[in-house]
Amino acid sequence: MANTSLLELESDSGIEAACKRLSMSKREFLQFCAAMSATLGLPQGAEAAMATAVAAKQRPSVIWLHFQECTGCTESMLRAEHPTLEKLILDVISLDYHETLFVAAGHQAEAARKSAMAAHKGKYLLVVEGAIPTKDGGIYCKIGGKTAIELLKECAADAAAVIAIGSCASWGGMPSTDPNPTGASGVAKVLGKPVVTIPGCPPNPYNFLSTVVHFLTFGSLPAVDHLGRPKFAYSRLVHENCERRAHFDAGRFAMDFGDEGHRKGYCLYKLGCKGPETYANCPTILFGDAGGGTWPVGCGHPCIGCTEEGVGFQKPIHMLAKMKNIEPPLQYARIVEEKGTGATIGAAAVLAAVAGAAAGAGAMVAKNLGLSHKAEEAEKAKDSGEKAGV
């Protein structure tokens, strides 16, 4: 690593040129690199390497495919602000094929894809948005005369890395819900090999951006879990960092939308929040660059578990989540318990009579038990004497 500190880059001409290209001040650019490094959990000095890489290295070519999806993942990218989309695709990466953002269409678009794949063979990133229909030979999605299966395998053959963006591409998402008439599947299942998955409906654009910048800086993708999800974004439960967690621990829950607990910001577990069984960084990174509270739970709606296979689009939205660490009791003591009025004189008299009867019965039982014990001992002694006489 040529530079070990961002301070050493203050007068670097390459950094100055990059800042002008990105229309950012030097401070903003270095802060961006430092924040990205912290998000990825990288060691000290990595932020300098990241800044140098973004400023000097050739932008990675990106081929972006669309299949069974709503384009929500692309829409979330359109709304990213650090950097904005035009800076991302023109200065950080080279977006060489994207059906939604392309000006070209038809044969021109397909020609651009093939040209980019040939020019950057073995070096380009393949990003897949949307599930791949596999039933009936994949006839339910065709682009340029090829099925989604054929197009995916063709583009993945010479890619340096494959990234599945969104829950649909990661594991089938909404199109794969029962009865799944098209056989919608995730990218890894169709290719038969692990890929980096960035689930979410849509995923946070910065999880994708951080993954790409890591690849640009170090020539490799970030560490992933057993499902291919980057650990920096999907290693902790939503529940662990939720701003409503204190209410959960104290037993304060919203029971209905709009009730007093809901208005006071109480925990949404009883309304079906899937945060306790969903891995994502939503409460820490938020969403949409719109300020505090910009994520579903912060806005008052339970997490639906969109990043978690088997939870999002599978479990009913308001069904209780399966706790991964601790399960609360069905009932908690109320925050303020009301004091009792005390027993009346009549009730006390009845209770005393019942207690007296119980005490008398207990004494008789003890007496009978004692007599029974003496009789039993006498019988044993008699048996022992008869045996000795024999």
pLDDT at 158 exceeding the cut of 60: yes
Q: Are residues 53 and 65 in the same domain?
A: no
Cis peptide before 202 (omega within 30 of 0): yes
Q: Are residues 125 and 230 in the same domain?
A: yes
Which tens digits make up the pLDDT trace of 159-191?
999 999 999 999 999 999 999 999 999 999 999
- Assigned domain for 193 exists: yes
Distance in Å from the first CA to the final CA of the chain: 103
Q: Which residue has the higher pLDDT, 303 or 286?
A: 303
Last residue of a domain, one of 57, 82, 97: 57
Structure tokens at 355: 């207690």
Last residue of a domain, one of 208, 234, 260: 234
Q: Which of 134-143, 291-300, 356-365 has the highest mean pLDDT?
A: 134-143
Q: How far apart are CA 5 and CA 45, in angstroms?
A: 6
Q: Are residues 21 and 92 in the same domain?
A: no
Q: What SS3 class is residue 9?
A: helix
- Assigned domain for 367 exists: no
Tally the domains of the chain.
3
- Assigned domain for 227 exists: yes
pLDDT at 247 exceeding the cut of 90: yes
Q: Are residues 228 and 249 in the same domain?
A: no
Sort strands 142-143 and 146-147 into parallel, antiparallel or unpaired.
antiparallel
The average pLDDT across 24-47 equals 73
The average pLDDT across 359-364 equals 58
What confidence score (pLDDT) does residue 217 get? 77
Q: Are residues 204 and 311 in the same domain?
A: no
pLDDT at 296 exceeding the cut of 80: yes
- Assigned domain for 104 exists: yes
- Assigned domain for 118 exists: yes
Q: Are residues 142 and 284 in the same domain?
A: no
Q: Are residues 144 and 40 in the same domain?
A: no
The average pLDDT across 345-357 equals 56
pLDDT at 30 exceeding the cut of 80: no
pLDDT at 258 exceeding the cut of 90: yes
The average pLDDT across 194-202 equals 93
Domain of 98, CATH number, reads 3.40.50.700
Q: Are residues 215 and 81 in the same domain?
A: yes
Q: Are residues 97 and 174 in the same domain?
A: yes
Q: Which residue has the higher pLDDT, 92 or 229?
A: 229
The average pLDDT across 15-39 equals 74
Q: What percent of the chain has pLDDT over 70?
A: 72
Q: Are residues 201 and 247 in the same domain?
A: no
Domain extent, residue 128, equals: 59-234
- Assigned domain for 366 exists: no
pLDDT at 141 exceeding the cut of 80: yes
Q: Are residues 178 and 267 in the same domain?
A: no
What confidence score (pLDDT) does residue 340 get? 52
Phi-psi region of 282 (alpha: psi -120 to 50; beta: other; left: phi over 0): alpha
- Assigned domain for 387 exists: no
- Assigned domain for 345 exists: no
What confidence score (pLDDT) does residue 297 get? 93
Last residue of a domain, one of 334, 361, 384: 334
Q: Are residues 108 and 152 in the same domain?
A: yes
